[in-house]
Structure 1
Amino acid sequence: MEKRTLGDGLTVAALGLGCMGLSQGYGPADDATSVALLHTAIDHGVTFLDTAQSYGAGHNERLLARVLADRRDEVTVATKFGIVRGDDGVRLDAHPDRIPAYCDASLARLGTDVIDLYYLHRVDPDVPVEESVGAMAALVTAGKVRHLGVSEVDPDQLARAVAVHPIAAVQSEWSLFWREIEDDVVPAARRLGVGIVPYSPLGRGLLAGSTGPAAFRDNDPRFAGPARDANLALLSDIRALADEYRVTSAQLALAWLLARGTDVVPLPGTRNPARLAENIAATAVPAEAVDRLDAVAPRTAWSGDRASFAAYGSART
């Protein structure tokens, strides 16, 4: 697996693994099967594992701990704080006084003494981003965290974060299916020397052909009514192009994102070993196929806007 460098010197596999679906969002998952999948991913060079304290209310971090116990030195672990999931629902909390305890809890669940990349999962509207990042910087000084990241920020918030401490990565939704960050966040990240880690790089499953009921699609207007029909028609065109090169639509979509720049590290998630192998093979898709994709599926052709559900939906990812 090719290596790429994010921001202030964090070197990771070019393709990561988003682990959320092993604990929430896409129906029940079997832990033993999930652990086997994680081992397979590492065996094939997918060594950048992405989790969060909120995924399964801590379950996801504990799941990764079962793999890290024997393979910690082989992987780069990213986790996040700021979305708190409990019996009373989901809330945002990035108060600087509570960040050290969130970090310690993640370290304990992961069974490690250091987090390679620690993200602010969402900016807390009640806390200036500078204060949250300042508390995160103290964790680097204490040796509990190696690099810092932020997720779903706007360019101003990103610049304010970088002014406090170097930021290795910004994580945002980005795919052939959703390209809004190309207008502002991507240019800002490159100007500030921050790597870009796209989540949902397969368009919440659409670009892999998964469009059935799931918690993270049910409230998304891009998967409803006429917008869904239009997007499925566009997927059919992408599949036709993929067939020409004997690849899948998912491989083509991941290859397209990898080609956006060497500072881009997508995080496809899966619970299926066959899908994992398919995603890994995206690194070998011919450049000619990628070059043709923008004409087949231009940005303006997609339908629906995540804005109407972003405050609820994206705060749960």
Structure 2
Amino acid sequence: MDLGVTALDTGTNYLGFRSHQILARTAGDLLPKFKISTKVGYFPGPDGVEHSLDPVRLCAAVEQAAEDLGREPDLVFLHNPEHSLSEAAPHNQDVLAQACTALDDATAKGLCAAWGVASWDPSPLLSLVDMTGPRPSVLMVRAGLLVGARTLDAADALTEAWKLGGGEVWGMSPFGGSADAPVWARIDPRVFLRDGSSLSRMQAAFRTAYHLPRVDSLAVGTDEPAHLGELVGALAGEVEERTVQEYRSLLRTDRAVSLPEAP
């Protein structure tokens, strides 16, 4: 909150299916000051974790989330629906539609304020979108320089299909899972900024992620407050859109992309 962050994103299956209880206990009376989004779709199973798009289980998970948090979530995502859709063929479109309807019904019942779709690989969803069915309020997808052309194009296509506008497309994992990955020590993403001389390489990578694909919010980890503060400071940077588009064009041609070496 001191950094101006007022939204927290979590998931039912995070921290061994204890994330909601831990968040409620840790935040205490500060929790109402935040907007809370969470995700449903993964459940405890015989082998640890299993994925399901069963409407009854999804609704129960939303209800349990509200109970564990001590309040209704502001947004509940259908978590990686593509995980189960391949197993549902040839009825995968019906399965996805029923899952979306379940979250839409949960919203209508007041179990959450809105619902969305969070997808690690949105490509399988493109041919399954039912334009006559309920429309998600938010789409969350991977974002950043390590995202491939196929995922970027699929995210854009879903955004258009669902007619999502400002504030309705979110990004996640802008560093591909780790800000300490070796790749970030080798390249200089400041080439994507109009004037990145005042920002670090990590700040430049984060700021650029808002344009790969174009998203309005980015979910990042909170393990290191100093790192989080650095990322908030990166929002002052301006991205050179033409450079981003040239980069995406190279990705689509399957040509090797070579970014400037880090100094």
> Into which bin does the TM-score normalised by the smaller protein fall?
0.7 to 0.9
2:47 to 77, 84, 88: 88
| Cα distance, 1:293 vs structure 2 | 6.6
Which structure 1 residue ranges, 5 or more long, are not aligned?
1-41, 212-227, 304-317
Structure 2 residue aligned with 1:251:
203
Give 1:190's match in structure 2, choosing from 156, 160, 169: 160
TM-score scaled by structure 1? 0.65
Q: Is 1:120 the counterpart of 2:78 in the alignment? A: yes
The structure 2 residue matched to 1:136, chosen from 103, 124, 141, is 103
Amino-acid identity (%): 23
Equivalences for 1:17-166 in 2 at 5 Å? Answer: 42-86=1-45, 88-112=47-71, 114-123=72-81, 124-125=84-85, 126=88, 128-152=95-119, 153=122, 154-157=125-128, 159-160=129-130, 163-166=132-135
Instruction: Give 1:262 shift.
Output: 6.9
Residues 238 and 293 in structure 1, CA contact (< 8 A), matched pair in contact too: no
Change (3 A) 1:119 1:232: closer
Tell me the equivalent position of 1:169: 138
Residues 1:273 and 2:232 aligned together: no
- Label 1:293 to 1:137 Cα distance change in 2 as closer, same or farther (>3 A): closer
**1:123-146 alpha-carbon deviations (Å, 9 max, x no partner):** 233461111111111111111111
Q: Distance in 1 between matches of 2:12 and 2:116?
A: 15
Q: Contact between 2:155 and 2:213, CA under 8 Å: does it hold in 1?
A: no
2:62 partner letter: C
Distance 1:261 1:73, change over 3 A: farther
Q: Deviations over 1:31-57 (max 9, x none)?
A: xxxxxxxxxxx2322122111110012
Shift, 1:82, TM fit = 0.6
Q: Which residue of 1 aligns with 2:187?
A: 236
Aligned-pair CA distance for 1:86: 4.8
Q: Structure 1 residues 286, 232: closer, same or farther in 2, change over 3 A?
A: closer
1:91 is displaced (CA, Å) by: 1.1
Alpha-carbon distance change, 149 to 58 in structure 1, aligned in 2, over 3 angstroms: same
CA distance in 2, matches of 1:143, 1:240: 46
Q: Give the total of aligned pairs.
A: 236
Deviation, structure 1 residue 100: 2.2
Task: Name the counterpart of 1:202.
Answer: 175
Change (3 A) 1:291 1:269: farther
Q: Secondary structure at the match of 1:120?
A: strand
Query: What does 1:306-317 align with in structure 2 at a 5 Å threshold?
Result: none
More displaced stretch, 76-85 vs 62-71: 62-71
| Distance in 2 of aligned mates of 1:170 and 1:130 | 15
More off after superposition, 172-181 vs 44-53: 172-181
- Residue 257 of structure 1 and its aligned partner are, at CA, apart by 2.4
TM-score, length of structure 2 as denominator length: 0.77
In 1: Cα distance, 2:100 partner to 2:192 partner: 44
